[in-house]
Structure 1
């Protein structure tokens, strides 16, 4: 009887031991693989192209990405992460992310795309800087491509008008995408944007899509209000048809490479630069800024009228007064010049 009682106690102890061990293993497995693991408040974790495995693992620890780096390392070994490799990319982090999911994302390359939106870009350098900030490649890599004449010709442009290929919009592109592939993505969007309807309207104006965009950049430079763009576009198209100089102040500012100019003076008008439309007839060789979709469509759907002169309104509302003759234009211009003097705006 005593022997049976001893056996029962032994069995109970063994059972309890197995239970404790099982709970311990289960608990360890849970925290190693299934429990929320992310400790940082950073929104993304970035893995560079060709970054060594050991360096990535070291950064996960040193940057405090996970709560327990030892458990993360054990999980990584169990899931053969070193063997399968870590894919470069921009990985979304959240407080409910487990080691298992995080490791699975790293090994499979399940990254979040960058929602890249741009508008109101003045120069190639500005655009390259924005690209370098949002993507893995630096701004110089992008600037070299934007200035690459052979690349421009590949897409049907030249070095002067290549900037018109980039249509301001929102693009979803992976962070580690090769710079040339990023440019190619913009080219595909450009081809979709210039559909049959827009091409037909450009042809009716006897302009190429690139020339429409160059004119649109001037319209954008002049207009503070989108609703006035078609009227301004109609004015410049009237001047082109008549063989007149465009005499667009934004082109003079661009030609002088001084974007602090608030009052265009005679000294600014004499610069010998093909972008100075006070001296050179027709459209300049390229855009003076990245045209917006609104400004491109304003040229294609221009307002029909007889105006060939315009001047900013003296109330500084951003709107313009339009005229069909020099005498009327001079009256408008004197009003604006008087308003500038009243505000002591001399340059």
Structure 2
């Protein structure tokens, strides 16, 4: 009996040592590298398959021990499929916690105010972490995936920074940006004064895009909007260069000439009255607010002073004097 007791004692000591060793392993940081490792767990994967996928991606994990950890903690059936980041210094227990909580790796893409839709597409196509499902779609095909009722995508997406789970379709970003634009535009439309010359929120969006491209001075946007609103009210040509430039497309090489102002396109507001047919850029919130809440003024003209600000005038004679002073 004494031999049996000794054997049991040894087994008990070994068991305690193994348990302590396993507990140490579970809480001990894995690996000594400094780089973050991206890995994915495929949908439908059990804990064994997940452990193999994680190890195959380069994470210094012991799959068998990880399976045991997941099972004894009751987490083996709660692992969520997706893309994750393994950060140096993470322990097996922390890794398991990430998988159970679904702490997916995230990426982000920033869309800049004043960009065209072409520039937005280029930024999204270059964004890492996205599945580029729309890369081979035309603008119209892409728009059909995002929204009904529009024929042209320009201006229909809100400029902002969008965060997404890595591995997401790029359509997620497009849809989120369009929904954000729609919500912001409708909110501003509901608060508009009753004397604006717009027939629809879309016309206000067109105006906001013009305001966005006409000035980099955020404080001047309500006055810029006031000038164009005042012109619309009296049937005066908008005569704004950014619309002409947009209508020129690839022909624009950084300089606008008299010939360009006289060449008719649907976007040439020197040859055609009213608003152009679509927005010309992605307007930000301040431009939307200015277009739907312009300053109260009689101004019909403005000219750059050369210091980033503008001189506003309500008559052509005053405007000509301002041009003489600041331009000629």
If the TM-score is normalised by the length of the shorter chain, which range does it land in?
0.7 to 0.9
2:119 aligned residue (126, 133, 146): 126
Cα separation, partners in 2 of 1:247 and 1:206, compared to 1, 3 Å: closer
Distance 1:92 1:174 in 2: 11
Q: Please report the RMSD computed on the Cα atoms of aligned residues, expressed in angstroms.
A: 3.8
Residue 168 in structure 1 maps to residue 159 in structure 2:
yes
CA contact (8 A) 2:209 2:287 kept: yes
Task: Name 1:235's counterpart in structure 2.
Answer: 227
1:184 aligned residue (175, 185, 195): 175
1:62-82 per-position Cα deviation (integer Å, ceiling 9, x unaligned)? 66433xx3x245414764799
Structure 1: tracts of 5 or more residues without a match: 339-347
Task: Name 1:302's counterpart in structure 2.
Answer: 294
Distance 1:190 1:92 in 2: 31
1:226 aligned residue (197, 215, 218): 218
1:19-69 per-position Cα deviation (integer Å, ceiling 9, x unaligned)? 2453144314531x3322265434562538779999986775566433xx3
Distance 1:178 1:139 in 2: 6
Residue 210 in structure 1 maps to residue 202 in structure 2:
yes
Task: Name 2:104's counterpart in structure 1.
Answer: 111
User: Which secondary structure does the structure 2 equivalent of 1:322 belong to?
Assistant: strand
Distance 1:149 1:21 in 2: 63
CA contact (8 A) 1:221 1:250 kept: yes
Cα separation, partners in 2 of 1:58 and 1:333, compared to 1, 3 Å: farther
How far did residue 231 of structure 1 move?
0.5
Cα separation, partners in 2 of 1:73 and 1:335, compared to 1, 3 Å: farther
CA contact (8 A) 2:188 2:288 kept: no
User: Which secondary structure does the structure 2 equivalent of 1:311 belong to?
Assistant: strand
CA contact (8 A) 1:202 1:209 kept: no
Normalising by structure 1, report the TM-score.
0.75
User: Which secondary structure does the structure 2 equivalent of 1:321 belong to?
Assistant: strand
How far did residue 143 of structure 1 move?
5.9
How far did residue 85 of structure 1 move?
7.4
User: Which secondary structure does the structure 2 equivalent of 1:164 belong to?
Assistant: coil
1:317 aligned residue (304, 307, 311): 307
Distance 1:47 1:144 in 2: 30
CA contact (8 A) 2:159 2:177 kept: no
Q: Which structure shows the bigger proportion of residues in helix conformation?
A: 1
Could you say which structure has the larger radius of gyration? 1
